[in-house]
Amino acid sequence: MSMATGRPLTGRTVLLFSLGAFGVVIAANAVLAVFAVETFSGLVVPNSYVASQDFDRRRAAQLALAWDVALEYSDGVLALTMKDAGGGTVRPAALSVSVGRPTEARDDRVLEMQSTLDGAAAPIVLAPGNWRVEIAATAEDGTLFQQSRAVFVPSP
């Protein structure tokens, strides 16, 4: 029987191998953490305590409007339909719609919505993936209506 001869496995070799393996894992985690912090700060509002003080009142006023929102994206057009409790089309006094990715702000865009028969629409080309649509409308009586919706654009 012959035994292969080679370098012996020493404590120093095991130590260097272990340090190298952990070094690769730590470096990968550091790179991912830096990219995560640079692309999304995690802030939704600057001061959550101040924002919470008025939340219940604004929520009750919005629910009292009883608006139903439908959002559809196809063929490069984002269409928004708003209906009241009776099924009639809602024409808010002011409407703002912005589109962006859920995890970063660099693709955020405010849309120029054009009035249509059953709501509003805007031309926009969205790449495949998840998108967040922020809707802010003001009712005729001044009540603020805000909703965040998700849109998924499939790959072609």
On the question of pLDDT at 121 being above 90, the answer is yes
pLDDT at 122 over 90: yes
Cα 4 versus chain centre, distance: 59
* pTM of the full structure: 0.68
The yes-or-no verdict on residue 124 having pLDDT over 80 is yes
Greater pLDDT, 45 or 62: 62
The torsion angle over the Cα atoms of residues 55, 149, 121 and 44, rounded to 10 degrees, is: 50
| Under 8 Å between Cβ of 122 and 114 | yes
Paired with 110 in beta bridges are 98
Query: What are phi and psi for residue 73, nearest 5 degrees?
Result: -120, 125
Q: Tell me which DSSP letter residue 102 carries.
A: T
Instruction: Report the distance separating Cα 2 and Cα 133, nearest Å.
Output: 71
**pLDDT for residue 54:** 87
Q: DSSP H helical segments within 40-155, as ranges?
A: 48-53, 55-65
Convert the pLDDT of each residue in 137-151 to its tens digit: 999 999 999 999 999
Q: What is the percentage of the chain residues whose pLDDT exceeds 70?
A: 96
Predicted pLDDT at 156: 80
